[in-house]
Amino acid sequence: MLALGRLLRLSLAPSAAADAAVGVLLGSSGWPSGGAPWLQIAGALGVYHGGMALNDWADRRHDGATRPERPIPSGQIPAGAALFLGLALTLTGPLLAYLAVPLAGQVLGLVALVSLAYNLGLRGSFIGPFLLGTCRAANLSAGVLCGRGLSPDPTAGVALWLVLVAAGYGLYVFLLSCLARYEDLEAGPLPGAGSPFHPRKLLALAACVLALLPLLRALDGSAPRAWIAAGCGLAVIGASGLLRRVRAIDDWNPSAILGAMGMGLRRLLVVTGSLALTQGGTIGVGVAACVLCGYPVSYALRRVFPPS
């Protein structure tokens, strides 16, 4: 069971579920009754963790040389079993979401296709991180479309601020994915300190994106300003932790990069939690609280099921 959890990277489950849940909240301006939102969350988890299994399957030879303790190269999970599980989860996820709201299922199907493209080899220094950022942005968007489809006015369009939030979320993941390439020097030697792709710059830019994302809710004229301020405050607290890590690291070796990236990944819950908080009211605060409760869970699980 431990090997399976490491293959699926279960420490990241709270953030994948939060994408869908917060998307539903923002898309519906509330929480729809019935089981449809939970189908969307289950579908998002299926695609996400299926992608994790496929990632390990695709990296099995590379991991055998650099990280032989991973489940497949260590022999704890056969490569064929990992491939079957990854494909099964990746294909089942969109079907579950389709049962909730067909359009949301179609978007999650696109996420599955992008995930497959990444794991089949589209991993260049730019295209790889871009595809990963696209997956997370689209996962949040699928939740938004699910919420909109379950709202009292399902034919209403998606507001501009929601599109910008999804794009900003994708940018945050793109920056972290660029950083992750230096974990085992996969991207080659570190660029010079003046390069925008130096790990220090990538983490600092990610912190800025995190701090600014909830402010986009101000474009929604009906949003309560006090709750927007609360969401921004939470995001700034999360961003300040990343900036402290930026200042604390002098030697950006693979171990330091791994720790910084893990912190950035856990901050995904701060991003979605701060966005949920901008909704305000009992439901918005409740969803934000549930999302943030995933932070200590993710932190505790990271030692057993490392996020990378």
Q: Domain containing 38 — which CATH number?
A: 1.10.600
Q: 123, 140, 130: which is closest to 47 by C-alpha?
A: 140
**Would 308 be classed as within a structural domain?**
no
Q: 291, 288, 295: which is closest to 264 by C-alpha?
A: 295
CA-based R_g, the chain, Å: 19
**Would 306 be classed as within a structural domain?**
no
Domain assignment of residue 137, given as a range: 2-301
Q: 72, 122, 260: which is closest to 182 by C-alpha?
A: 260
Q: 175, 171, 172, 192: which is closest to 252 by C-alpha?
A: 192
Residue whose tokens read 């996820």 = 93
Query: Structurally, how many domains does the chain consist of?
Result: 1
**Would 125 be classed as within a structural domain?**
yes
**Would 56 be classed as within a structural domain?**
yes
Lowest mean pLDDT among 177-181, 214-218, 271-275, 303-307: 303-307
**Would 196 be classed as within a structural domain?**
yes
The secondary structure of 45-93 as a DSSP string is HHHHHHHHHHHHHHTHHHHHHH-TTSTTTTTSS-HHHHHHHHHHHHHHH
Residue 113 has pLDDT above 60, yes or no: yes
Measured distance CA(161)–CA(164) in Å, rounded:
5
Looking at the chain, the whole-number percentage of residues with pLDDT higher than 90 is 69
**Would 292 be classed as within a structural domain?**
yes
Lowest mean pLDDT among 139-143, 146-150, 159-163, 179-183: 179-183
Residue whose tokens read 């959890």 = 5
Q: 220, 106, 117: which is closest to 160 by C-alpha?
A: 220
Residue 186 has pLDDT above 60, yes or no: no
**Would 181 be classed as within a structural domain?**
yes
DSSP H helical segments within the chain, as ranges?
2-8, 13-28, 36-58, 60-66, 79-100, 102-119, 127-149, 160-180, 199-212, 225-248, 254-266, 268-277, 281-301
Residue 95 has pLDDT above 80, yes or no: yes
- Average pLDDT score over the chain: 91
**Would 307 be classed as within a structural domain?**
no
Within 10 angstroms of residue 233's Cβ, the number of other Cβ atoms is: 13
pTM of this prediction exceeds 0.85: yes
